[in-house]
Amino acid sequence: MKTHLIRKESFSYKSHQHQFIWQILAPLLFFLLIMAVVGGFTVSVSAGQASLWADIALIWLLIPVIFGSLLLLTLLVGMIYLMTRLLQISPTYTAKAQHFVWQVQHGARQVMDGAVKPVILIKSIIAGVKKIFKGL
């Protein structure tokens, strides 16, 4: 028993062939023809023309690099400006913060000296008494 999966007379097969020709084969042949013409044009140009086209190609290749560099330069200039502004206002606030830290340090030192003073006083008295008895 022989079965035919695709009938060449069917509407869908004819539609597929039509689509294949106009949606795949025609654009492919069109761009191959364009590439052949451009290739022939580049081969046929003189040395002066080749240099001109090389210069034009170089310009087109450098345009994205130039814009990227300008973007980075703008970012760098902005960062420098913001750091300058920050350095102009930061001495005021850092001086206030440093003064606050000095006050906290002075208060903590007084509290700790007051807490340790009795212990140091007792130990110094004991050391003095020991020294007196050792000398006798």
The phi, psi pair for 127, rounded to 5°, reads -65, -40
Structural domain that includes position 114: 45-135
116, part of any domain: yes
In a domain, 126, yes or no: yes
Percent of all residues in the chain with a pLDDT value above 90, rounded to a whole number: 49
pLDDT at 77 over 90: yes
- Is the pLDDT assigned to residue 6 strictly greater than 90? no
Question: Is residue 3 in some structural domain?
Answer: no
What average pLDDT does the segment 117-126 reach? 92
- If asked whether residues 54 and 39 sit together in one domain, one would say no
In angstroms, the CA 13 to CA 109 distance is: 96
In a domain, 72, yes or no: yes
Q: What is the pLDDT of residue 75?
A: 97
**Length, in residues, of the chain:** 136
**pLDDT above 60: residue 70:** yes
Is 4 within a domain?
no
Residue 130 and residue 65 share a domain = yes
Reported as a pLDDT band with limits 50, 70 and 90, residue 3 is: low
My answer on whether 85 and 117 are in the same domain is yes
> What digits encode the pLDDT tens for the residues 24-62?
999 999 999 998 988 887 777 666 677 787 888 899 999
Give me the amino acid identity at 97. Answer: A
- Whether 56 and 123 share a structural domain: yes
**Residues 92-109: what's their mean pLDDT?**
91
Q: Are residues 37 and 51 in the same domain?
A: no
Q: Global pTM?
A: 0.37
Q: Give the residue-averaged pLDDT of 102-128.
A: 93
Confidence check: pLDDT of 133 > 90:
no
22 and 85 share a domain?
no
Which tokens is 38 given? 């451009």
Same-domain pairing of 75 and 40:
no
Would residue 87 be called left, alpha or beta, if left means φ above 0 and alpha means ψ between -120 and 50 degrees? alpha
Q: Is residue 5 part of a domain?
A: no
According to the model, what pLDDT value does residue 92 have? 82
Q: Are residues 37 and 52 in the same domain?
A: no
What's the number of domains the chain is made of? 2
